Amino acid sequence: MKPNPKPSNPDALKLSTDLLKGWRRSLIKLGKVPRGFNKKAAASDQIIDALIRESRSDVAQLWSIFNQERSQIGQYLNSPKREVIAYLLGFHLPNIARYQAMLIRSHQRHQLFDGFKNFSHIHLVDLGCGTGALTLGMLDLISRFKATPKSVTIDLVDRQKEFLNSAKAIIEENFSHLPNKRIITGRLFVKEYAEKLLAQDFDKSSCIVIQLGYLLNEIQRNPKEMKALCMMIEQLIKKQLAFAVTSIDSSVPSHAKFMMNFREFCRDQGLQTVYPCNHNNPCPMFKDDRDWCYSESEWQPPREQLAIDKYLDIERRRLGSSSYMLVSPQLLDITWIKQPSQVIVGRPTAQSNGKSHKVFHYLLCSNKALEKSKQQPHSNKYQLRGEYFKDTTRC
């Protein structure tokens, strides 16, 4: 087995060894190798390489329509099992990386996982769970930051039975050691699930985390489902429960702008913005239709992911996403710092200064307005969207 290549950015996010081992074991259990391949006699890395060869064309089909009409994806493969494997190979790990990058930044800014430690029970809701990437990413960090509660309930909700079964199996594979764990699956629409969740009794020892992975850009075309999601959030606020809403979605302008509007809705209901904003005021990016907000992060893909990306002819060491986290005051009582930092929201443009380095122009968001700043960094590497701006000219 070839070793993982050295990362171009040593500070890039690295997924935990346990997550990667569980992902590989799940692929071997769920995947189909080429005809004639002796699975029993092969080593695990040989099996996964065979799975990649067998399924990479399926991954390519999904990739080709990923930013077009996601509701039609299943029609291209005509096989739920093949679709699950294609998702696991092509999108599962990058989505964990996107999600964890947001969660880690949220913890660095507002001690997110310290807030979770105040609750003996955490209720994770994964709407449109797919392969369970968001729940896996959350559970991994809860364990890493030593915030494991006395009990955990996981609601996996998806319209496809094969994804529900696979997500449950993968979570069991990764977190069999988690005490007092209960996993509930449901082939439900958002409206049906909202009614079930709101009928439950939650006390002050419980915290609810609603996770939306690439769901909002789908249900925005379904007014009934979108209304049900908004109603669920409104009712949870009225009940004065400790809860969070987290979401990752596409960074293309139309999806990102819809996410910006969803943030405004949640803020208007009384939720506090943990990420990406450094304030809880109306978004200043609405003033110019040319602007839209999304985040960037860098990660260290394992060698298997690099093999898939090479076949797709794409580079995904740097990931883009519309990532948001909002919380009720009962979960985190955020006190905005007196001198708020500026969040990078505009893709930097580079201009040569006639020397060996470049000058980067950033669009920055503060609690009042947008402003531009430029700097000559110590290298040609620029800072990423979603990060707090670091003025290296003062170093």
Helix (DSSP H) and strand (DSSP E) numbers for the chain: 13, 11
Q: How confident is the model at residue 177 (pLDDT cuts 50, 70, 90)?
A: confident
Spatial CA neighbour of 275 closest among 133, 135, 129, 106:
106
pLDDT for residue 338? 52
pLDDT tops 70 at residue 3: no
Residues near 83 by Cβ (< 8 Å), separated by ≥ 6? 58, 62, 73, 74, 77, 160, 162, 163
393 vs 303, more confident: 303
Q: How confident is the model at residue 11 (pLDDT cuts 50, 70, 90)?
A: confident
- For helices 17-30 and 133-144, angle between their N-to-C axes, nearest 10 degrees: 150
pLDDT for residue 335? 64
Residues 9-35: what's their mean pLDDT? 90
pLDDT tops 90 at residue 13: yes
pLDDT tops 50 at residue 198: yes
Spatial CA neighbour of 170 closest among 92, 73, 90, 249:
92
pLDDT for residue 392? 67
pLDDT tops 50 at residue 17: yes
pLDDT for residue 19? 95
pLDDT for residue 261? 95
Three-state DSSP class for residue 341: coil
Distance CA(137)–CA(319), nearest Å, equals 16
The pLDDT tens digits for 258-276 are 999 999 999 999 999 999 9
The pLDDT tens digits for 48-59 are 999 999 999 999
Handedness of CA 235, 239, 240, 243 (dihedral sign): negative
Q: Give the residue ranges of DSSP H helices in the chain.
A: 17-30, 44-65, 73-77, 80-87, 93-110, 112-116, 133-144, 161-174, 190-198, 216-219, 223-238, 253-269, 303-312
Q: Are strands 181-186 and 151-157 parallel, antiparallel or unpaired?
A: parallel
pLDDT for residue 247? 97
Integer CA distances (angstroms), 308 to 27, 66, 190, 305, in order? 14, 15, 33, 5
Spatial CA neighbour of 322 closest among 369, 244, 245, 386:
386
**In terms of CATH, what superfamily is 17-327?**
Vaccinia Virus protein VP39 (3.40.50.150)
The pLDDT tens digits for 127-141 are 999 999 999 999 999
The pLDDT tens digits for 114-170 are 999 999 999 999 999 999 999 999 999 999 999 999 999 999 999 999 999 999 999
Ranges of each domain in the chain: 17-327, 343-394
375 vs 216, more confident: 216
Round the average pLDDT of the chain to a whole number and report it. Answer: 88
Distance CA(91)–CA(87), nearest Å, equals 5
